[in-house]
Chains A and B, each alone.
Chain A
Amino acid sequence: MQNRKEEFGWQTLKEIWNNSGHGRNINIQMDRLLDELKAKTSKFEKEAIDSDLALLRTNWSQTKGMVSQFEKDAINKDLSAISRLLRRLFGIFSGNKR
């Protein structure tokens, strides 16, 4: 009985959902749309990237202040180890060339 009652309720929700698409007719002029999309997508993509970058910048500015001195020191240490290694490698290669 409970299941039957629930099922009826779910069907009602589906009807509400289906009716929600009936408020507007969506007319698409396909040829024109394709022309517009071809002309606009590169601009659209650029804007999407800009918007993502803005989001990253906002998140970074919130995160930046939360990076501890310990983490900064660890990153500096890693970076200097990598640059030492690269210098040695360059040294080896330039030595071999001579």
Chain B
Amino acid sequence: MAEQRNVTFEQLLENNKKSIFRICKIYASTPVEPEDLFQEVIAHVWTAYSSFQGKSNANTWVYRIALNVCLRHKTKSEKRSHTIGLEAIRFEPVSPVPEDHQEAQFMALKGCIQALEELDQSIVILSLDERSYKEISNITGLTENHIAVKMKRIRKKLLNCITSKLK
């Protein structure tokens, strides 16, 4: 595990930028907020990077920071006046633009995830992002068995919710 510290900051960002952005999109309350949140996560990863000792997997460590920043942001969002504003990060629209129904599906999923309890939100986000129960356990501090039990219940809840939203 110790060799994970050899992952450079650049590699960490390249490997995880899409996952970080997806997490930010779930917790954002306005369309531009995911970009601000993304920048804030990057700044936090940077400040914590010097103290990262490679005791945990580097990607797991980044997920933990991303979730913490997004959750903290949610509780402080009314009080924040501005964000860090990193000009080296550019968000460009893709072409072709995603179809409307894809956006509608995502908004339905987002609504259903937001309706879950805070811990369940983190678990389901990590699971959707293909993290193993072991990694989710390292990030959340729950046992793998506990996560498996929770996931069974969360899946059912989420599927019921999204089915009713997309009817």
Contacts and interface: CB of A to CB of B under 8 A. Distances in A.
A binds B: yes
Interface of A: 6, 9-10, 13-14, 16-17, 19-30, 32-37, 40-41, 44-45, 51, 54-55, 58
Given A9-B162, A26-B18, 5 more contacts: A10-B155, A21-B18, A21-B19, A24-B21, A45-B47
Given A36-B86, A41-B47, A51-B76, A21 B109 contact: no
A24 B91 CA distance: 6
A94 B78 CA distance: 54
Contacts of B80: 51
Chain A interface helix/strand/loop/mixed:
helix
Q: Which of B13, B84, B86, B88 has the most CB of A within 10 A?
A: B88
Contacts of B14: 28
B93 A19 contact: no
Contacts of B25: 20-21
B146 interface: no
B94 A22 contact: yes
A6 B92 contact: no
B102 interface: yes
B91 to A, nearest CB: 5
B98 A19 contact: yes
B105 interface: yes
A17 B35 CA distance: 17
B89 interface: yes
B167 interface: no
Interface in B121-166: 128-130, 155-156, 158-159, 162-163
Given A51-B79, A54-B79, A26 B87 contact: no
A50 B67 CA distance: 21
B68 to A, nearest CB: 12
Contacts of A13: 109, 128, 158-159, 162
